[in-house]
Chains A and B, each alone.
Chain A
Amino acid sequence: MRLIEQPYITPPGYRDFPFAYVYDATSLTDGTTYMDIQIPTQGDSDFILRHIAGVSNCVDTFANGGRWNFKGHARQYAIGNQSTGIQSYKNWPVVPEKLFKYNESLWIDLYTVKRAVNACGGTPIPYSYIAFFGVKRFTDNQGYPTRATNYPYKEKLQRYEYTLTIDWAHFATGTTPAPPHTFVQVMDNFDFELLRMTVAQPGQTGTLTSQDFAMTLYDANNHQLSNNPIPQGYWNAGKPTPSTQPPYQGIMPVPSLVYPAGSSIRFDITSLLCSTSIPQTYNISFEGLWRLPC
């Protein structure tokens, strides 16, 4: 049977909301193997898993024994090698998507953990996160419209360019991380459909490839799109060079989200920078479509 590329249809009576469950592996111990790591879902909806990003930031190289496995909703392995695992990747598509019902958990095995870090003297800053991207599936009477516009419109390409300056380090004092800082981009004129985001630093020829910060994005109703901050590379759709793809093949939000006129794109930034590296300036490009009244 062919996988026909026709627009995805959410089952009647349901509403999909883009979401990522992010597993924080920063507290794991390097060199250790962890079996049956449970990542509980939030218990407010079903979850449809479509791709997994960042496993390669949490385990060692294949030659050094770094492997992984993951399981479906009934804790059955999705990969046939139950004893030694497989090579880790920056991005692992799940085709067809996997359904995790209300209150079920995601499960993974990590063999020979090695956390990816940003160097920072004697206290490196880990960015070992695994993001399970997909959608929350609410029933119609439980969810909320996130893509509807209540006037006739035509679409026009629009980008909001946000200049972000990070002038705080990851560690506030000692080894205590600093809290995230909140920023907003106001929707000044029309409804805006957000399709993707890219990040670059002024003067650079390609997109940002280092994990300098992590972000928690919100919809127009202030609902988080992830349970933990997501390192920028996982959702950054920019290319490092014209001929290379985004390292994590990231794009967010999927499906798209509409921010009505007068609302704002809220995003919380968690610094992953060393105190010797601040301040740094970035340009975040929110790419999408204006919905012009007609």
Chain B
Amino acid sequence: MPQIETLVNPLAPPVYNGFNNTSPLGYVDVDFTYPYDVTLTANQFLRDQSISTTNDADFEWRALVIAYSTGAFNVRFADSQGYYLSNGMIVSANIIGDAASPYPIFPGILIPAGGRIGIDIQDTSGSTNVIQLLARGVKRYRIDV
């Protein structure tokens, strides 16, 4: 074994050891999360909702977290061009996760600055449903090279 300093803890997950910078040339990626809060009445179906992204940077959407819900629901997402990411509504139980093990969006979906993530969402619990979704990813800032 060479006499060098180890740089990582092999028992720790990659995020704790650190990821090398994978920002595209001319950009810098910064951790960011867009939340979506909604309260649905029993069986309410809301179409064409959206998470609006800010104007300062593109957003690469990499993961989804159902942060909170008081009941089951169905949901469907679309990218900034209105292109649906599924052919039907997704049952919330199929995309559960938490902040440390979210539902992955792979490959990441690029939402341009000032764009939107489209959402159709429907309560299936039959009661008032308080929901918070988190779109996790990175803001992609342009930098001088």
B67 touching A86, Cβ below 8 Å: yes
- In the bound complex, do residue B31 and residue A89 qualify as a contact, i.e. CB atoms below 8 Å apart? no
Verify if A62 is at the interface (C-beta below 8 Å from B): yes
Report the contact-size class of chain A (Cβ under 8 Å from the partner): 35 or more
Within the complex, which residue of A7, A93, A145, A287 is in contact with B7, where a contact is CB–CB below 8 Å? A7
Shortest CB-to-CB span from B114 to chain A, Å, is 13
- Chain B residues with CB under 8 Å of chain A are 1, 3-24, 29-35, 37, 51, 54, 62, 67-68, 70, 98-100, 107-108, 130, 132, 134, 136, 138
For residue A18, which residue of chain B has the nearest CB? Answer: B9
Contact between chains at A95 and B31 (CB < 8 Å):
yes
Q: In the complex, are the beta carbons of B22 and A3 less than 8 A apart?
A: yes
CB within 8 Å for A95 and B9 given contacts A1-B23, A86-B134: no
Q: A62 contacts B68, CB within 8 Å?
A: yes
5 closest Cβ contacts across the A-B interface? A87-B67, A8-B18, A80-B34, A147-B5, A89-B99
> For residues 69 through 116 of chain A, which have their beta carbon under 8 Å from a beta carbon of chain B?
72, 78-81, 84, 86-87, 89, 91-98
Distance in angstroms from B26 CB to nearest chain A CB is 12
A237, closest chain B residue (CB)? B11
Q: What are 17 of the A-B contact pairs (CB < 8 Å)?
A: A7-B17, A8-B7, A16-B7, A62-B68, A80-B51, A87-B68, A87-B134, A96-B22, A96-B23, A149-B3, A150-B3, A151-B3, A154-B1, A195-B9, A251-B11, A251-B16, A255-B7
Q: How far is the CA of A50 from the CA of B32 in the complex (A)?
A: 13
> Of all chain A residues, which has the CB nearest B63?
A95
The answer on a CB contact under 8 Å between A81 and B37 is: yes
| Contact, CB under 8 Å: A10 / B10 | no
CB atoms of B19 and A7 under 8 A apart = no
Cβ of A121 to closest chain B Cβ, rounded Å: 33
Q: Are A92 and B100 in contact (CB under 8 A)?
A: yes
Which residues in B have their C-beta under 8 angstroms from that of A209? none
A80 touches B32 (CB 8 A): yes
A144 and B136 CA atoms in complex are apart in Å by 36
Binary interface profile of A, 32-59, with partner B (CB < 8 Å = 1, else 0)?
A: 0000000000000000101100000000
Which B residues are CB-close (under 8 A) to A147?
Answer: 5-7
| Contact call B3/A96, Cβ cutoff below 8 A | no
A9 closest partner in B (C-beta): B20
* Residue from B16, B19, B98 within 8 A of A254 (CB atoms): B16
Cα A145 to Cα B68 in complex, Å, equals 44
- A91–B11 CA distance with the chains assembled, in angstroms: 17
Find the A residue at minimum CB distance from B23.
A1
Q: Which of A5, A96, A251, A254 gathers most chain B CB within 10 Å?
A: A96
State the Cβ distance, A68 to closest chain B Cβ, in Å: 11
What chain A residues lie within 8 Å of B130 (beta carbons)? 62-63
Cα distance A153–B4 in the bound complex, in angstroms: 11
Complex Cα–Cα for A287 and B11 (A): 10
**A4, A93, A147, most chain B CB atoms within 10 A:** A93
| Interface-central residue, B16, B29, B62, B70, by most chain A CB under 10 Å | B16
Decide: A92 near B12, CB < 8 A? Known: A86-B134, A98-B31, A147-B5. Answer: no
Contact B35 A81 (CB under 8 A): yes
Residue in B16, B34, B62 whose CB lies within 8 Å of A50: B16
